[in-house]
Structure 1
Amino acid sequence: MIQIREMTLQDKPRLRKLYLDSRRKTFYWDDPELMHMEDFDRDTEDECVFVAESNQAVVGFISLYVPDSFIHCLFIDDRFKGQGIGHLLLNEAKKKLTLPMRLKCLSRNTPALAFYEKEGWEKVHEVKVHDAYWQMIYR
């Protein structure tokens, strides 16, 4: 059974590894040598992080920047994808954030775009800088 809870300091080593491994696989077009374990700490600073746990093991997380009702990160361990964990984490975000919620999703990340649209998110505007991304909104 999957449980959602707030991150603790004890979760950080697993979250750092999950974040690094997921980014290297998902963003295959970027140089993996530019991605590091410490990126998790920098990228989630001042954010509220919830973890998905299965049998006392962290299998995914979502990070929220509450002042802007913004979802910054959502990553699931590949071995646990397709089990509804992303849906559960988004439901936790709905409890914590006010509507409308916002996020950005890289245009190349078509599986994530499809997931968000299935969850009721709308593409608002495509921004074309370094790597193009979609600004998305949930009302």
Structure 2
Amino acid sequence: MIQIREMTPLDKPRLRQLYLESRRSTFYWDDPELMHLEDFDRDTVDERVFIAETQQTIVGFISLYVPDNFIHCLFVDGSFKGQRIGHQLLAEAKNHLQLPMKLKCLSRNTAALAFYEKEGWEKVHEVKVHDAYWNLVYQ
């Protein structure tokens, strides 16, 4: 059974590792040597982080920038994908953010885009820069 709770400082080592491993496998087009454990701390400054765990093992997390009703990060351990953990983390976000909620998703990340659309998110505008991304909204 999956439990969702807010991150504690003791969770950071596992979250750093999960973030690094997930990014290296998901963003296969980027140089993995440019990704580091410390990126988690930098990328979640001023955000509320909620974790998904089962049997005291962290299997996913979501980070929220509450002032902008923005979901910054959502990552699930690859061996736990397909178990509705992402859905549960998005449901937790709804408890802490106001509608409309927003997020950005890289255009190349077609699996994540399909996931968000299945969850009821709408593509608003594609920003065509070096790494093109979609702005998505949930109303």
Same fold (TM over 0.5): yes
Q: After superposition, give the CA deviation of every residue in 1:47-88 in whole Å (9 maximum; x if it has no partner).
A: 000000000110000000000000000000011000010000
Cα distance in structure 1, aligned partners of 2:11 and 2:81: 20
Task: State the one-letter code of the partner of 2:42.
Answer: R
Q: In structure 2, list runs of 5 or more residues that go unmatched.
A: none
Query: TM (normalized to structure 2)?
Result: 0.99
Equivalent residue number for residue 76 of structure 2: 76
Q: Does 1:50 align with 2:50?
A: yes
Q: Which residue of 2 aligns with 1:128?
A: 128
Residue deviations 1:7-54 (CA, integer Å, cap 9, x gap): 001100000000000000000000111000000000000000000000
Q: State the match for 1:65 in structure 2.
A: 65
Q: Hey, what does 2:90 align to over in structure 1?
A: 90
Unaligned runs of at least 5 residues, structure 1: none
Aligned length: 139
The ranges of structure 1 where at least 4 consecutive aligned residues each deviate by more than 4 angstroms after the TM superposition are: none
Structural RMSD (CA)? 0.3
Asked if 1:104 is matched to 2:100, the reply is: no
Matched residue type, 2:126? E
**Distance of 1:133 and 1:54 partners within structure 2:** 32
SS at match of 1:96: coil
2:69 and 2:15 map into 1 onto residues whose CA distance is 22
1:20 and 2:20 correspond: yes
Q: Residue type matched to 1:135 in 2? A: N
1:3, distance to aligned residue in structure 2 (A)? 0.2
Task: Output the amino acid matched with 1:84.
Answer: R
- Aligned sequence identity (%): 79
Deviation at 1:130, TM superposition (A): 1.3
